[in-house]
Structure 1
Amino acid sequence: MNDGYATIHELAPERRLRRLELTITRRLDGLLHGQYLGLLPGAGSEMSGSREYRPGEDEVRRMDWAVTARTAVPHVREVDADRELTTWVLADATPSMDFGTAELEKRELAVAATAAVGFLTAGSGNRLGAHVLGTESVRRFPARTGRTHLLGMLRALLAVPGGAEGVRPPALAEAIAGLRRSAPRRGLVVVVSDFLDGLPDDDGAASRPDWEAELRRLAVRHQVLAVEVADPRELELPDVGLITLVDPESGQRREVSTGSRRLRERYAAAASAQRETVRRALRRAGAAHLPLRTDRDWVADIVRHVFAQRRLAMAAATRRNPA
C-alpha cells in the first residue's frame, strides 16, 4: 500500500477510502473482473433440475428427497446462479482490532477487505449489506446497491470509537447469529475478524470456539468466507527487553521480559496453537478461509485466494462432466 507517500493510517478518512478504491480498481478489478464476485465461486439458489448423487463430490444437504423417493436412487438438486447477488459483510471493529505493528492496523486491514468485497460485487443489481460489530453494539446496514452506500459503510467502520477500558464488546457468536437472522435469502456472507473472541482456554480435542456453532448454522444457507486478520506480533515476540502488554478489551496489563528465549518460544507455540484452533473451527463450520496479515500484500493474498478457488471449481466441474 505504501507508494512513497503517507501511509493509509496517516491519511484523512476520505483520502483513505479514495486510495483504497484506487488500489482495488487498479490491482484487483483487472485480474478478477467478472459478473459475480470471484472470492468464493459456487452455486446459486434457483432450482434447475436434479441429477444422481455422486459420493465424495456432492453435499448431502443438497439432496432432492422427492426425486430420491420416486426413483429409489439418490439425487441432488441442481441450481442456476442467481442473476443478482446479495452479499453480507460482518466486520469486526472491536478493540482487539485496534492493533498493528506493520504498515496497517488490523482495523484498517478489515476496512480494506470489506472495501474489496464491496467494490468487486458492485455489479448491476447486486446488493451489499453489513453488520459492524463495534465496542458496545452491532450497527446494521441494510442490503442496498450503489457506491454511495458502500462508502457510507466504510466510513462507519473507520469511525467506530475505541472501547472504554474494561467494557466488553458484544460477542462474535452473537453478531453472527444476528446476521443469520437478518439474511434469510441465500447469498454470500463474508466475516472479517481476528476470530480471537470466544476461543477455548485449552487446546483439547473437545474445546471449540464459541462462534463455531453459529458460523456452521450460517453456512447451511449461505456461502461463507472467513477473512482472518492478524498482525505479526500476535504470532511471535521480538527480543526488545521489558515491555508492558495491555488487553484492549479487558484493560488488564502485564509486564513481560522479551529477553527470555524460553518465553518467546512458549509465546510462539501458544500463538500457533491458537491459530490452528481457528483454522480447524472454520473448516468444520464449512467456511472458506482467507488469512490476511498487516505485514503482507493483502491484494496479492486475495488474488491468490481467488485463483485457488477458481482452480478448485474448475476441477470439480471437470470431474462432474469429463470429456
Structure 2
Amino acid sequence: MKPYLIAEPALRRLELTITRRLDGLLQGEHLGLVPGPGSEPAESRPYRVGDDVRRMDWNVTARTNEPHVRDLVADRELEVWALLDATASMDFGTAAMEKRELALAALAAVGFLTQRTGNRIGTHLLHGGGVRTLPARTGRPHLMALLQAAFALPRTPPGVAEPLLGVAAEQLGRVVRRRGLVVVVSDFLDTPETWEPPLRRLTARHQVLAVEVLDPRELTLPDVGILTLIDPETGRRREVATGNARLRRRYAEAAAGQRDAITGALRRAGAGHLRLRTDRDWVRDLVQHVMRRRRLAALAPGHRAPGHQAPGHGAPVTGGGGDVA
C-alpha cells in the first residue's frame, strides 16, 4: 500500500484528537502557546528588573534621564519552522507509542493550530538520509503534505552514519530569514556541546521552543534478568544483567544526569523547554505547559491584557517574542 494511503487516516485521527481536546481551551481571547509580544514597536515605559535590555528606548531614556524600554505588539502573521528529529534513536518506545510517533504528534499539534490561523509553517526533517527541507506555506493541503512526508520517513538501519542535530539546527538558521517561531522536536541525545551553540544562535533571532521526547526506559532500567541492548545509531549490542540493583541505581543516576545536562544546555541556549513522554498523556502535558506559561506571562513586567493583542492573535501558536520555557 502506498505510504500516503496509510498516513491519511492516521493523520485525520490525530487532527481530531488535537482539535477536539484543545479547542476552546487554547482559542479565543487567550494568550497562545507562545505567550508574549511580537516584533512591532509599541509604547515606551520605565524599565523594570527582568526586562530585555535589547528593547531599551534610548531616545526616551535620554530625554527623561530614566531607563525606558519599548513594548512590542504581536505580529499579525507568524512564520513557524519545525526541526523534526527522525534519526534512529527516535525509533524506540516501550509505552503507548514510539518516540518517533510522539514527535510526529507534537509536530502535528503545532501544525494544525498554526494552519487554522493562517500562519505559514515549514519543516526541516532530520533522518538517516540527511536533512530534507519543506518550505513554509499556508493552508491545510500543504500541512497534510508536510505531515505525510514526516510520516513516511524511512527508518535508519543500525550503524548507518546520521547527521547531528546541531548540523541540522545550523542549516535551519541559514534557511529561516524572517523572525518567527522555531520548534525543535528531538530526544536531544547528541552531546549538548554539538547542538547548544547553533541553538543559541537561533534564539538570538527567533523564539525557540525545544520539545524533548523521551521514553520511561531511558530513565530507569527494569529488573527483567538478562537484557540485550542495541544502540540504534551505532548497531552495538550489549547484554546487561538487570537483576543487579547497583547497576540499576547507577543507570538511573546516569540517566538523570544526562537529562539535567540537556535541561541546562537548553536553558543556556535561551530556548523554551517542553518535555513529552511516551507513557503520559502528551496533550495534557502540552496544555499544562500552555497554562503555566500564561500564568508566568501574566505576572511578567509590562504584561498586556489579551484585549490589547493585535487582531488575529488569540490563536494557540501565534504569540510573539515572549518566554516559552
Q: Same fold (TM over 0.5)?
A: yes
Paired residue for 2:224? 240
**Matched AA of 2:69:** V
After superposition, the C-alpha distances for 1:119-155 in whole angstroms (9 at most, x for unaligned) are 1112343111111111121111111111111111111
2:171 alignment counterpart: 178
Listed as ranges, the gaps of 5+ residues in structure 1 are: 1-10, 200-208
Separation in 2 of the partners of 1:258 and 1:265?
Answer: 10
Q: How does 1:266-285 map to 2 (within 5 A)?
A: 266-285=250-269
Tell me whether 1:251 sits opposite 2:235 in the alignment: yes
1:311 aligns with 2:311: no
Cα distance in structure 1, aligned partners of 2:28 and 2:301: 18
Do structure 1's residue 53 and structure 2's residue 37 form an aligned pair? no
Q: Per-residue deviation at 1:58? A: 0.4
* Structure 2: segments with no counterpart, 5+ residues: 306-325
Greater Cα shift, 122-131 or 282-291: 122-131
- Measured against aligned partners, the alpha-carbon deviations of 1:226-261 in whole angstroms (never above 9, x if no partner) come to 110000000011011111111111111111111111
- Give the secondary-structure state (helix, strand or coil) at the position aligned to 2:179: coil
Percent identity of equivalent pairs? 64
Of 289, 292, 295, the match for 2:276 = 292
TM-score by length of 1: 0.88
Deviations 1:145-180, CA, capped at 9 Å, x for gaps: 111111111111121112233222111111111111
Whether the 8 Å CA contact 2:200–2:270 is kept in 1: the answer is yes
- In 1, are the aligned partners of 2:51 and 2:301 still within 8 Å (CA)? no
Match of 2:17 among 16, 20, 23: 23
Counterpart residue number, 1:4: none
CA contact (8 A) 1:195 1:228 kept: yes
CA contact (8 A) 2:77 2:119 kept: yes
Distance 1:319 1:63, change over 3 A: same
Hey, what does 2:308 align to over in structure 1?
A: none
Read off the aligned partner of 2:133 and give its amino acid letter: R
Distance 2:48 2:142 in 1: 42
Q: Note the C-alpha offset of 1:77.
A: 2.7
Tell me if the contact between 2:297 and 2:303 (Cα under 8 Å) persists in the aligned partners. Answer: no
Asked whether the equivalents of residues 63 and 74 of structure 1 are also in contact (C-alpha less than 8 Å), the reply is yes
Compared with structure 1, are the counterparts of its residues 88 and 37 closer, same or farther at alpha carbon in structure 2 (3 Å cutoff)?
farther
Q: 1:320 to 1:44 in 2, by over 3 A?
A: closer
What secondary structure does 1:271 align onto? helix
Residue pair 1:37, 1:121 contacting (<8 A) in 2 also:
no
Distance (Å, rounded) in 1 between the aligned partners of 2:42 and 2:302: 20
Q: CA RMSD in A?
A: 2.0
With the length of structure 2 as denominator, give the TM-score of the two structures: 0.87
Give the Cα–Cα distance (whole angstroms) in 2 for the partners of residues 217 and 297 of structure 1: 32
Aligned length: 301
- In the alignment, structure 1 residue 231 sits paired with structure 2 residue 215: yes
Superposed CA deviations along residues 286-314 of structure 1, whole A, max 9, x for unmatched, are: 11111000000000000100000111111
State the match for 2:205 in structure 1. 221
Q: Is the 8 A contact 1:37 1:120 kept in 2?
A: no
37-46 vs 82-91, greater mean Cα deviation: 37-46
Q: Say if 1:68 and 1:213 are closer, same or farther in 2 by CA, change over 3 A.
A: farther
Q: d(CA) in 2 for partners of 1:98 and 1:37?
A: 34
One-letter amino acid of the counterpart of residue 284, structure 1 = R
CA distance in 2, matches of 1:37, 1:315: 13
Q: Give the structure, 1 or 2, with the largest relative contact order (CA under 8 Å, sep 6 or more).
A: 2
Distance (Å, rounded) in 2 between the aligned partners of 1:36 and 1:84: 17
Match of 1:113 among 106, 124, 127: 106
Q: How big is each residue's C-alpha offset from its partner over 1:45-72, in whole Å with a ceiling of 9 and x where there is no partner?
A: 11224333212x2012222345445654
Question: What is residue 187 of structure 1 aligned with on the other side?
Answer: 180
Aligned counterparts of 2:145 and 2:37: Cα–Cα separation in 1: 30
Contact 1:172–1:197, Cα closer than 8 Å, also in 2: yes
In structure 2, the CA distance between the partners of 1:148 and 1:273, relative to structure 1 (3 Å rule), is: same
Q: Distance in 1 between the 2:161 and 2:168 partners?
A: 14
**Preserved CA contact (<8 Å) 2:58 2:68:** yes
Provide, for residues 194-237 of structure 1, a one-character-per-residue CA deviation record: whole Å limited to 9, x for no partner. 011124xxxxxxxxx32111111111111111110000000011
